[in-house]
Amino acid sequence: MPMMTAAQYEESLRRLNLVVYMFGKRVENVVDDPIIRPSMLAVAQTYALAHRPEYEDIMTAGSHLNGARINRFTHIHQSTVDLVKKSKMGRLLGRNTGCCFQRCVGMDALNALSIVTYNMDQELGSPYHKRFLKYLAYVQENDLTCDGAMTDPKGDRSLPPHQQPDPDVFVHIVAETAEGIVVRGAKAHQTGAVNSHEIIVMPTMAMRAEDRDYAVSFALPSDAPGITYIIGRQSCDTRKLEDGLLDRGNTRFGGHEALVVLEDVLVPWERVFMCREYGYAGELVEKFAAYHRQSYACKVGVGDVLIGAAQTAAEYNNVAKASHVKDKIIEMNHLNETLYCGCIACASEGHCEPSGTYAVNTLLANVHKQNVTRLPYEISRIAQDIAGGLMVTLPSEADLQSPETGKWLEKYFAAKGEVPTINRLRILRLIENLTLGTAAVGYLTESMHGAGSPQAQRIMIARLVNMAQKKRAAQNLCGIEEE
């Protein structure tokens, strides 16, 4: 089967029977819901661009299973070149959508599982890798979007899973049958969950023997019985319910996150990839985290949009040639390209795992993600500087359209020369969207916490640097003998 088109992807979602709640009510038509739809359209871009010849090299790959041309989001990385292309794909789609396009998390889960299931089978004689490859073939063949689900609610953070007052605050096995395992729990912050065909569940952290029931990884169709989705709300979400597009800022795309509740869901054995092998939970988390920290390459693309918006606003305001404005644009670019260096370097310095999968350089992936928790905030601050205060005092599109007030807005908010006033307002709304609105959720807060909060990266950096080598180098130079 060839790769799906965007239209086919949309159709495929219509065939799902998801249980989705938002604003306290069941969403009957998920695909057409005005709040959810822009996020679906963002995922659809991952399908659409794969058919564009100019992006073929970036967006597609040859399957290592059968050589078929597949969407890169379903690909297992076979080289550092693949890893670098993954980073470039993230930037491309970030620039294309100006938001979170949601599909990377499934790609990262597949790649992490390809490594860890292999290692498990080698060491334990388990059947996981074989199962995984069969599942992967299914995903590739049907060009599916997968949600990679890792973050548990975690309850009291000072207690391990098995000591929690409520055992369900981490996903766990509650029963085992001939057909499979029955699981219960929830996964929080699930990006793009209701735009996915599949949900791939992984443990949220390393586990010990007492927590063996929590060391579990598996895949489910997104509409498997027992799964409930509750959509999180975002800053300015309801502007998508209003008439007119202007006040949305990004008139085309968006993102969403959901709480995914698993209420005694049956997982058939052929979809179980880890079942109580607690010793491998940590490895799966680390592999996934490293891949996913690389995936924040996408924020470079969103940064491109914000820089382009700031430059456009400066031109419309006729201040683009002021030296301080030019300098601020340079600074935005400098910071954005600094991020780019991180996602390229961790990819080009990748290595081959025993399974044949290429993994990123974990240290540099963590360094990259740590910068992602900082630099977009500064880029955003500068964008607000350049945009000017009008960005947050601008009346609504309805005021612009109103016969009573529209004339005043046209008169007093006129942009430079021949530029239509409405275009000035559009670009300001886009900057608002990216720095305060729905897209700020992705560009800022998700940059902070997605793929692990800043402290998680710092712990990894401390663990991964070769401190002994550095100490020896210093001691050698100042005359301290080998200890």
**8 Å CB contact between 105 and 260:** no
Among 15, 24, 53, 67, which residue sits at the site for a copy of itself (rule: CB under 8 A)?
Answer: 24
Give yes or no: 346 in active site.
no
Q: Which of 66, 79, 177, 318 binds a copy of itself (CB under 8 A)?
A: 318
**Under the criterion CB under 8 A, does residue 294 sit at the interface with a copy of itself?**
no
Task: Determine contact, residues 93/301, Cβ cutoff 8 Å.
Answer: yes
Nearer to a copy of itself, 264 or 399 (CB): 399
Specify whether 191 is catalytic.
Answer: yes
Answer yes or no: 446 catalytic.
yes
Q: In the chain, count H helices and then E strands.
A: 19, 14
Interface residue with a copy of itself, options 21, 121, 127, 279 (CB under 8 A): 21
* Site size with a copy of itself, rule: CB under 8 A: 150
Residues 371-400 that bind a copy of itself (CB under 8 A): 371, 373-374, 377-378, 380-381, 384-385, 388-396, 398-399
Nearer to a copy of itself, 234 or 355 (CB): 234
Q: Concatenate the DSSP letters of all residues of 403-441 into one string.
A: TTTHHHHHHHS--STTS-HHHHHHHHHHHHHHHTSHHHI
Question: Contact region for a copy of itself (CB under 8 A) — 141-149, 195-203, 292-300, 424-432?
Answer: 424-432
Neighbours of 225 (CB within 10 A): 12
Report if residue 160 touches a copy of itself, rule: CB under 8 A. Answer: no
* Tokens representing residue 206 in the block: 């390393």
Decide if 324 is catalytic.
no
How far is the first Cα of the chain from the last one, in angstroms, to the nearest whole number?
A: 63
**Segment near a copy of itself (CB under 8 A); pick from 10-18, 103-111, 154-162, 198-206:** 154-162
- Shortest separation between residue 430's beta carbon and a copy of itself, angstroms: 4
To a copy of itself, the closest distance from the beta carbon of 269 in angstroms equals 27
Sole binder of a copy of itself in the list 337, 351, 352, 356 (CB under 8 A): 337
Rounded distance between C-alpha atoms, residue 410 and residue 402, angstroms: 11
Interaction between residue 344 and a copy of itself (CB under 8 A): yes
Whether 298 is catalytic is yes
Calpha distance 168→51 (Å, rounded): 43
Q: Which listed residue (14, 134, 334, 351) binds a copy of itself by CB under 8 A?
A: 334
- The answer to whether 352 contacts a copy of itself (rule: CB under 8 A) is no
Q: Is 118 a catalytic residue?
A: no
Beta strands 358-359; 351-352: pairing state: antiparallel
In sequence order, what are the residues at sequence separation of 6 or more whose Cβ sits closer than 8 angstroms to the Cβ of residue 287? 111, 112, 115, 116, 359
Interaction pattern, residues 210-249, with a copy of itself; x per rule: CB under 8 A: ------------------x-xxxxxxx-xx--x--xxx-x
Which of 152, 145, 149, 186 lies closest to 39, judged by CA?
145
Residues 49-88 within binding reach of a copy of itself (CB under 8 A): 84
> Residue 201 — φ and ψ, nearest 5°?
-95, 135
Catalytic (active site) residue 341: no
> Cβ 389 to a copy of itself, closest distance in Å?
3
Contact 427, 436 (CB under 8 A): no
User: What is the rounded distance in angstroms from the CA atom of residue 15 to the CA atom of residue 197?
Assistant: 10
Select from 61, 113, 216, 307 the one that contacts a copy of itself (CB under 8 A): 307
Enumerate the H helices of 70-198 as residue ranges: 80-97, 104-124, 128-142
Any idea which residues carry the catalytic annotation? 100, 104, 191, 257, 292, 296, 298, 446
